[in-house]
Amino acid sequence: MATTNYDLVAVWQVSKPRTFRALQDAFVAAKKAISSKGKRGLFGGDKEATSQAVVVQCINKAIAGMIDDGIIVGTSDPTLKLRLELEIGQFVITFPNWPDEREYLNGILDLIDF
């Protein structure tokens, strides 16, 4: 089983702290969204849709973090989606135990119009 690369974690926390924190939140939200697929709440609410909305909010926070960290210049940056996918890929290299969540996030990115 793959383990966390703590050297990369230290680099992330220093060089891209806001992006790092936002992607942590996005991966946790993706995990919750995956587990809530097809489930209904006590009063019939769609848990999957609610979880998916939280994932989209976390992706927006990740984009804001990338701007704050100087990875992209703004939301009109033509490389926004590519850079976000690269950051997600680097996150999975750092934390290799999240492959399902990476697939889920990449699927959500395909649904978002950049």
pTM, rounded to two decimals: 0.88
Using one digit for the tens of pLDDT, what is the confidence trace for 45-72? 677 888 999 999 999 999 999 999 999 9
Smallest Cα–Cα separation from 20: which of 74, 81, 79, 68? Answer: 68
38's CB contacts (< 8 A; 6+ apart) are: 48
pLDDT at 82: 93
Using one digit for the tens of pLDDT, what is the confidence trace for 31-51? 999 998 777 766 766 778 889
